[in-house]
Amino acid sequence: MRAVVFRGDGVVEVADAQEPTIEHDGDAIVRVRLAGICGTDLHVVHGDIPMDPGSILGHEAAGVVEAVGADVRSVAPGDRVVASFQVACGACWFCRNGQTGLCDEHRMLGGGPFGGDLHGAQAGFLRVPVADVNLLRIPDEVADEAAVFVGDVLTTGVYAASLAAPGPDDVVAVIGAGPVGACVTRALIADGGRTVVVLDRDAARLEAVASLGVRTVDVGATNPEMALARETDGRGADIVIDAVGSIEAYTSALETVRRGGRIVVAGVYTSQHVELQLGVAWIRGISLVFAGETPVQALWTPTMDRVADGTLDPTPLVSHRLPIADAAEGYDLFGRRIATKVVLDPWA
Ligand SMILES: [Zn+2]
Ligand SMILES: [Zn+2]
């Protein structure tokens, strides 16, 4: 099979790789029909998340079950499935309480040594441990392009929106109009009622979310604090969602939230540091919620239902569908923000 392999120092390459086999009775092998390239993959490729050269990249996949181990009950060969990017055990206290993102045995597809050294999803075949927990069947009416988002980005958007939990009159600022920001925005407006303002400096990404009917602010041209003040009689946003994961985004969240407001940090952080003046956060009464990894398995069934009934549609985010041979170009386009979402076909 062909696979996207990490070579170290920012280099990815498409190479022939050994096909995975059933290693444990709970495993399934999925024939991947579509694999996404995600911002987290860029963190791996650029060394923010360690990975051994030679490992297969990627953690977003939709495909068809090829084979299952003796203990697998919820899926069978021939089923169309999406994989969760995060591989949870399903049995620990956190998993039993719906917090699979905090699983005792947390692993991640294509996540390197800290992700349990599992090979990634950008390959012809993928081994998924504890398949009963980490695969979800795809309804017939949902296309692979939509389903692939349910294993990660769209469900992350639903999760961030649930942590934000806005009231009907709240003004919610979403920092970042990339794939996560766009999915948070979709989840917020699917629930109706509140005002959503999306901030970014990329005109094309802002235009794409504006088409959903939300207000947008180009932070390259307009001060975000002033823009949110204008929307709220000078108070600031009731809730701000950091959907980027950068110090600039985090700082902007603190500047745009009102006194007594809530910040949801959904963007991924690794080793960044910021100084937080405790007295300022205290006197302003800020609630600060770090999302952590999305508990995909706790939220993906209702998310898939909403994709199936049309209330959530992530497919307009797919800007590039490429054969796996063009994976390096896909990483480059995504890294330079020319692509909003790249999906790879491992068999094209
Ligand atoms: Zn991802
Ligand atoms: Zn667990």
Asked if residue 193 has pLDDT above 80, the reply is: no
Q: Give me 316's structure tokens.
A: 């307009």
Asked if residue 192 has pLDDT above 90, the reply is: no
pLDDT tens readout for residues 198-233: 999 999 999 999 999 999 999 999 999 999 999 999
> At 223, phi and psi to the nearest 5?
-65, 125
> CA–CA separation, 58 vs 343, rounded Å?
11
Distance 91 CA to ligand 2 centre (A): 5
Mean pLDDT taken over the chain: 96
Which-ligand-closest: CA of 111?
1
Distance 39 CA to ligand 1 centre (A): 6
> CA–CA separation, 242 vs 180, rounded Å?
10
Q: Is 173 helix (H, G, I), strand (E, B) or coil?
A: strand
User: What residue has token string 């979709």?
Assistant: 186
Q: Give me 23's structure tokens.
A: 């290693």
Distance 286 CA to ligand 1 centre (A): 29
Give the pLDDT score at 173.
98
Q: What is the DSSP letter of 74?
A: S
Q: Could you tell me the pLDDT band of residue 333, with boundaries at 50, 70 and 90?
A: very high
Distance 188 CA to ligand 2 centre (A): 28
Which-ligand-closest: CA of 89?
2
Asked if residue 158 has pLDDT above 90, the reply is: yes
> CA–CA separation, 74 vs 26, rounded Å?
10
Strands 195-200, 215-218: parallel, antiparallel or unpaired by DSSP?
parallel
Distance 298 CA to ligand 2 centre (A): 12
pLDDT greater at residue 269 or residue 149: 149
pLDDT tens readout for residues 254-312: 999 999 999 999 998 888 999 888 999 999 999 999 999 999 999 999 999 999 999 99
> CA–CA separation, 293 vs 312, rounded Å?
21
Q: Please name which of 315, 342, 347, 345 lies closest in space to residue 331, comparing C-alpha atoms.
A: 342
The residues near 153 (Cβ < 8 Å, ≥ 6 apart) are 36, 38, 60, 179, 180, 183, 314, 317, 341
Which-ligand-closest: CA of 245?
1
Distance 182 CA to ligand 2 centre (A): 29
Q: Is 196 helix (H, G, I), strand (E, B) or coil?
A: strand
Give the pLDDT score at 191.
82
Distance 160 CA to ligand 1 centre (A): 14
Q: Is 203 helix (H, G, I), strand (E, B) or coil?
A: helix
Distance 172 CA to ligand 2 centre (A): 32
Which-ligand-closest: CA of 87?
2
The whole-number average pLDDT for the span 165-193 is 94
Q: Is 327 helix (H, G, I), strand (E, B) or coil?
A: helix
